[in-house]
Chain A
Amino acid sequence: EIVLTQSPGTLSLSPGERATLSCRASQSVSSSYLAWYQQKPGQAPRLLIYGASSRATGIPDRFSGSGSGTDFTLTISRLDPEDFAVYYCQQYGSSLLTFGGGTKVEIK
């Protein structure tokens, strides 16, 4: 099973600042099968990025994904007040799917 480790656990930033979230895999992940989600309290997760770098429908262009192999990054270029939430990375390979432990982006 591929283990995804997200860092940092919590990111304290102000609106307008840049957020950089990391997702590291225990073994190589196909870039096609790496996704990022946003989750707010009491809500289901929302797909942000699939295929490591493709934005899902309706996702603002301040969200971008990059990376390959074992290191992936989600960048939020300028934090909007609605972006404070928990973010999860997820991989799918060999019929097994795993999520990272999440990064909470909180208001500083």
Chain B
Amino acid sequence: QVQVVQSGAEVKKPGASVKVSCKASGYTFTKYYIHWVRQAPGQGLQWMGLINPGGGTTSYAQKFQGRVTMTRDTSTSTVYMEVSSLRSEDTAVYYCAREYIYGSFDHWGQGTLVTVSS
């Protein structure tokens, strides 16, 4: 069955970087885009961008351009998202999700809490 499993919680200081992984299984990795969405405590969902695991191409939300990098490793069916220059406002749960059809997400990772605190 399809599974999307993320790496564990992280605590980082302001100005640092964090890299979150998202390992997919149960389907052909290169055939479905992976998106990243974050959710600050008590807030709604915010789309960050996507990666095409097949070709490695990416598209980022304007808010995150220049500060977010998404990559993939096809040998391990894993997608990575790195956020640099962290600030306290980046404290959130970060989700990866598989795009099923027409931009909808049918399988989500369990979420990774990233806490930015001095």
Consensus secondary structure, chain A interface = strand
Q: Indicate the size class of the contact surface on chain A.
A: 20 to 34
How many A-B pairs have beta carbons closer than 8 Å: the answer is: 64
- CB-defined contacts of B100 to chain A, threshold 8 Å: 47, 50, 56
List A55-102 residues whose CB lies under 8 Å from chain B: 56-57, 88, 90-93, 95-102
Residue of B102, B106, B108 near A33 (CB, 8 A) is B102
Q: Is B104 a contact of A50 with CB atoms below 8 Å?
A: yes
Q: Is B44 a contact of A90 with CB atoms below 8 Å?
A: no
Q: Is A44 a contact of B110 with CB atoms below 8 Å?
A: yes
- CB-defined contacts of A47 to chain B, threshold 8 Å: 100, 104-106
Q: Is A99 a contact of B111 with CB atoms below 8 Å?
A: no
- A residues near B (Cβ < 8 Å) are 1, 32-33, 35, 37, 39, 44-47, 50-51, 56-57, 88, 90-93, 95-102
